Structure 1
Amino acid sequence: MKRRYPDPSTWLSDEARDELSDWRRWAARTVVIAFAALAGLGVIALTWLSERALETFQSLHQAWFWAPLIWTPALTALIVWLTRRCAAGAAGSGIPQVLAAQDPAVSPEDRGLFVSLRLSVAKVILTAAGILAGLSIGREGPSVQVAAGIMHHARRWLPRRSAVNERGLLVAGGAAGIAAAFNTPLGGVMFAIEELSRRPEDRASGLLIGAIVLAGLLAVSIHGNGAYFGRINAADLTVSMWAPGLLIAVACGLLGGLFARVLVQSLRGGDDRFSRWRARYPVRFAAGCGLVVAVIGLVTQGATFGSGYGPTRALLEGQDTTHGLQVILRLIVTWLSAWSGAPGGIFAPALTIGAGIGHDVAAWTQHPQPALIALGMAGFLAAATQSPITAFIIVMEMVEGHAMVLSLMGCAMLSSAIAKLISPPLYDALATLQLQRLPPAHPTPPADSPR
């Protein structure tokens, strides 16, 4: 008797057969994953160049302590001149550009003003140059624009009628940039949900999660799986620490909100003398900002140069290398670095400022420092960006502070709420300024006019 086998087509559900037979879907996934890997490599290249640039600047400063007085303003002026001449869309953080590119008013032809492969390459070079100049900038915001620009380029390789849209590519790329820069994949997911995406379908995309994970894996494989700032030895949070924790949250909220408001107003411009000087002589103005940054850096013996990774890690490890004016001076140099028009982000400097606030409160109240420093980092980052969920998750992953999740969450939420009373959301306001770069729309001719 001949043995009868079941029809193989009955082994799979209709959904599975549709999934396996749709070649366009698999082609789109392959393209997205490939470009996610390229985005991760782009961020890794930015990280490597930034670290070499910082080492070179520190060597220069150690060899000739007075060199930043000439080097910093001259290189800052050159960076701004190159940015305005060759890559105007690369100026500033990079996160506002990604938000602006998603605006419905931006046509597909105009998205290249904000994100593109060319801008990604320029952002890598110019951001590293800013760190080489000694400016108080970070590479995390630029990583968002770099990765988003690379991912956005994938649209050219997608099959027709693909379900993957340009908005989804931008969100996936931006989130992958944060994940690779900080080695915080969960922070990248939350950044996409809280800051980049405004549509539920983008937030739930499996490709978005896959891009973030792949970018994070590439960063881990090259830089190691350690936390960004290492593991902190945080003491148990008792009732006695509620008062200093509350003080940190309030101080971060007030200072972070003030910082965001001043930065938005400065970049928006006005009728004051400095705004007119910046508008008329942007390169000279950038040199002036660089000179002030250099003077403050020399006064603080180099503590305010760069993004502040070294001083922040030293504070978390219990090494007090700061003085009473560290927070205010770091605020000033970060503001001036951004106001100069040079490409660079504020994530890392914001973490440094928050660490300084936490350290000062810990010193005043005689409480264990690492936990309060971590609270300050989450609080000020949340206040400056008004993205509290992203802030506390990034800090939690960066310091392996999972035992502090509730206290980090509470501090970030309170600081962000206070900052909202002082300033509009930073990145939304800066994205609105970016949209002013759009070319004027052509008026629609009347129906009876000749065409």
Structure 2
Amino acid sequence: MRRLARVRTLKWHRTIMYCTGAVLIGIISVIFAHIGDWAAELRYHVVARNPWSMLVIAPLGLVAISWLTRLLFNGAQGSGIPQTIATLHMHNFVLVDRILTLRIALGKILMTCLGLICGASIGREGPSVQIGASIMHAFSRAMGQHNDVTRHGMILAGGAAGMAAAFNTPLAGVVFAIEELAHSFEQKASGRTLTVIIFSGITAIALLGNYTYFGRTNVFIPVGRAWLAVLVCGVSGGLAGGIFARLVIRLSKGLPAFLGRFSSRFPLVFVALCGLLLALIGLASDGATYGTGYLQARGIVDGSLHYPASFFLLKYISMLITFCSGIPGGMFAPSLAIGAGMGGWAEQFLPHTSPGGVVLLGMAAYFCGVAQSPLTATIIVMEICDNQQVTLALLATAFLSFGVSRMVCPRPLYSALATGFLEKTEQMARQVSHDRLEK
């Protein structure tokens, strides 16, 4: 009986630790959201007062971010999702301890928000995944966990909770954990993941209220001629997203020819040039391509804003330039903005489908084209707009986009980036071990 009591006490202790970590993820996600909104608002006021000032702010800001990241937060570069996926395949937890640290999590928050001030085309949802994984990994270490499956389960739960709290989409967080992070469903880990996501989501709702990311829409897409939009959005979104994913995978291996040599020799100068290009694109778009694209996407969804095709084309280019700069930041929110822009432009050619419905289909199609996660794309768009009436059309669009994207880019974006990151990390670890042996 004493042994049984100790086991039960240990289980309750672990459950309390899980819940505490989940609540902390929710609180930090809310703080991150507030700081990110403040950063975007500051940039908006700067651009409204003097748009040309971004020609100085963007280059100098990106240089400062790159320098600070290398000096103080080395390892915070990139989206955060590939890094989290890579740790789920690592069994050397000395390396995991170096990737999922609270210092890097802090760097993700600070550098991402600074990037939003400087006009970089980034989002905070990808970094939130690594931040959530880092928090739960820290709790795992505090509990003295040694089992690989349990520690990986904690990382998985934290990453999914971070994404769910950032978007306030708990169901999408569960599907994201299965479809993108783990690519599998393991019974014990699933219960832990659900617990962490629920408590993290409750915390976010308690602090921010029961809001939806893009408000509420009541559009409906009946089966029939209106489904022509499914075909158009699915093919165009899959093609554009697949090309983007293929380009990012290629660029992650190094810039081609002269650009690669120049960026290696003069890294800060190259980053400054990236910032200058972002500022020029921002000037050409009247500031619409800066930041996450949240305001633009929300305006397109509710019909209050209308943009020409140049919006999503310039946003597309600005995302590629931002990725080349190597600063911390995610791709989720900008991808949704590009998809909304594509749908908002295509709706004029699809009179048999409600305009708002085309926008939602465009968001799901492009998002799925980039990430190649059809279920996540469907559920995240459904939840951020609080609309279950278009679920079937969203599913059809996402799976069509998935098929088209796979033909263009056979390897899923985040899995390919995670593989590259894993190879580089293990190579660096071997080099360090070799140098120590020589000494």
Q: Quick check: TM above 0.5? A: yes
- Distance across 2 between alignment mates of 1:372 and 1:138: 23
Query: What 5-or-longer segments of structure 1 have no aligned partner?
Result: 1-8, 10-16, 446-451
- Among 288, 292, 298, the alignment partner of 2:277 is 292
| Higher relative helix content | 2
Q: Say whether 1:224 aligns with 2:209.
A: yes
Partner of 2:80: 94
| Larger mean Cα displacement after TM superposition, 283-292 or 180-189 | 283-292
Partner of 2:413: 426
Q: What do residues 106-135 of structure 1 show as CA deviations (whole Å, max 9, x unaligned)?
A: 511111332111111111111111111111
Partner of 2:231: 246
Structure 1 residues 160 and 47: alpha-carbon distance in aligned structure 2, compared to 1, 3 A threshold: closer
- Among 104, 112, 120, the alignment partner of 1:119 is 104
| Larger mean Cα displacement after TM superposition, 135-144 or 106-115 | 106-115
Provide the aligned C-alpha RMSD in A.
2.1
Structure 1 residues 379 and 159: alpha-carbon distance in aligned structure 2, compared to 1, 3 A threshold: same
Q: Residue 281 of structure 1: CA displacement?
A: 2.1
Partner of 1:205: 190
Partner of 1:412: 398
Partner of 1:14: none
Partner of 2:332: 347
- Distance across 2 between alignment mates of 1:93 and 1:26: 34
Preserved CA contact (<8 Å) 2:282 2:289: yes
Q: Give secondary structure in 1 for the equivalent of 2:39.
A: helix
Q: Say whether 1:272 aligns with 2:260.
A: no
- Distance across 2 between alignment mates of 1:344 and 1:277: 23
Q: What do residues 126-165 of structure 1 show as CA deviations (whole Å, max 9, x unaligned)?
A: 1111111111100000000111111100122215677972
Structure 1 residues 388 and 203: alpha-carbon distance in aligned structure 2, compared to 1, 3 A threshold: farther
- Distance across 2 between alignment mates of 1:35 and 1:286: 36
Q: Residue 232 of structure 1: CA displacement?
A: 1.1
Q: What do residues 317-376 of structure 1 show as CA deviations (whole Å, max 9, x unaligned)?
A: 112331221111110001111111110000001101111111121112234211110011
Number of matched pairs = 429
Partner of 1:437: 425
- Distance across 1 between alignment mates of 2:264 and 2:418: 19
- Among 378, 383, 386, the alignment partner of 1:400 is 386
- Distance across 1 between alignment mates of 2:185 and 2:48: 51
Structure 1 residues 241 and 199: alpha-carbon distance in aligned structure 2, compared to 1, 3 A threshold: closer
Identity %: 37
Partner of 1:45: 31
Partner of 1:371: 357
Amino acid at match of 1:150: I
- Among 40, 55, 71, the alignment partner of 2:41 is 55
Preserved CA contact (<8 Å) 1:98 1:174: yes
Q: Residue 67 of structure 1: CA displacement?
A: 0.8
Q: Residue 199 of structure 1: CA displacement?
A: 4.7
- Distance across 2 between alignment mates of 1:116 and 1:247: 44
Partner of 1:257: 242
- Distance across 2 between alignment mates of 1:191 and 1:428: 13
Structure exhibiting the larger radius of gyration computed from Cα positions: 1
Partner of 1:82: 68
- Distance across 2 between alignment mates of 1:288 and 1:407: 42
Q: Residue 441 of structure 1: CA displacement?
A: 2.6
Q: Say whether 1:387 aligns with 2:373.
A: yes
Preserved CA contact (<8 Å) 2:340 2:359: yes
